[in-house]
Amino acid sequence: MKVLSIAVLKWKKDTPEPIVLCQECELSQFSYFQKTAVKQMLTFISRTLIQRTNFSERQSVSHEEYMCHCYLRQDGLGAVVVTDKEYPARVAFNLESRLLDEFDAKYMARWKNAKEDNQFPMTTLAKTLQDYQDPAKCDKITQINSQLDETKDVLNKTIDSVLERGTKLDDLVGKSNDLSDQSKMFYKQAKKMNSCCSIM
């Protein structure tokens, strides 16, 4: 899971196109010669998508192996987070809401008069981008789901793998005092029926 770009934009339809207030990109997977073109493409995509997002709307747009998560508030402050397809959309939207609140608290209403790109830097944006590379570290629900998946994997062992080596369930059933002769017979017949079904 990877976050490629976080951009905060202004789109109040008072400028010919949305204004990129600040942006941070994580482009380490690209070569030196590709980075400039990729960054320009991420800026273009962010600007284009926020322009096509309705006020108070969240949308996720898919392109090849990437997802672009867009959110435009009623007041014209918006964010676009570009991730790979495995990245949870809920985490991306939570990031956007948190980021826009922080941005608004820092710059108050000054951003509303922006006419040029990159005039409102956020020093915390690079760290935020790094922190959100692992959604489980910054999102409690993702962290809990990850722990549940690990627990489920542990519990999905077969009974044969839990038994000691060289011990078979058939032998334990035969020696058990908990099972009546009728239950032991039922176990053997069920096992024979299952083996017949698996051969067919």
Average pLDDT value for residue range 153-168: 54
Q: How confident is the model at residue 185 (pLDDT cuts 50, 70, 90)?
A: confident
User: Domain of 108?
Assistant: 3-152
Residues 50, 105, single domain; the answer is: yes
pLDDT tens-digit series, residues 25-67? 999 999 999 999 999 999 999 999 999 999 999 999 998 899 9
Residues 121, 64, single domain; the answer is: yes
Average pLDDT value for residue range 151-159: 54
pLDDT tens-digit series, residues 97-143? 999 999 999 999 899 999 999 999 999 999 999 999 988 777 666 55
Judged against a pLDDT cut of 60, whether residue 198 lies above it is answered with: no
Residues 111, 163, single domain; the answer is: no
Residues 131, 167, single domain; the answer is: no
Residues 66, 111, single domain; the answer is: yes
Residues whose CB is less than 8 angstroms from the CB of residue 164 and which lie 6 or more positions away in sequence, other chains included: none
Judged against a pLDDT cut of 90, whether residue 164 lies above it is answered with: no
- Of the candidates 14, 101, 4, 11, the one whose C-alpha atom is nearest the C-alpha of residue 48 is 11
CATH number of residue 177's parent domain? 1.20.5.110
β-sheet bridge partners, residue 176: none
Judged against a pLDDT cut of 70, whether residue 153 lies above it is answered with: no
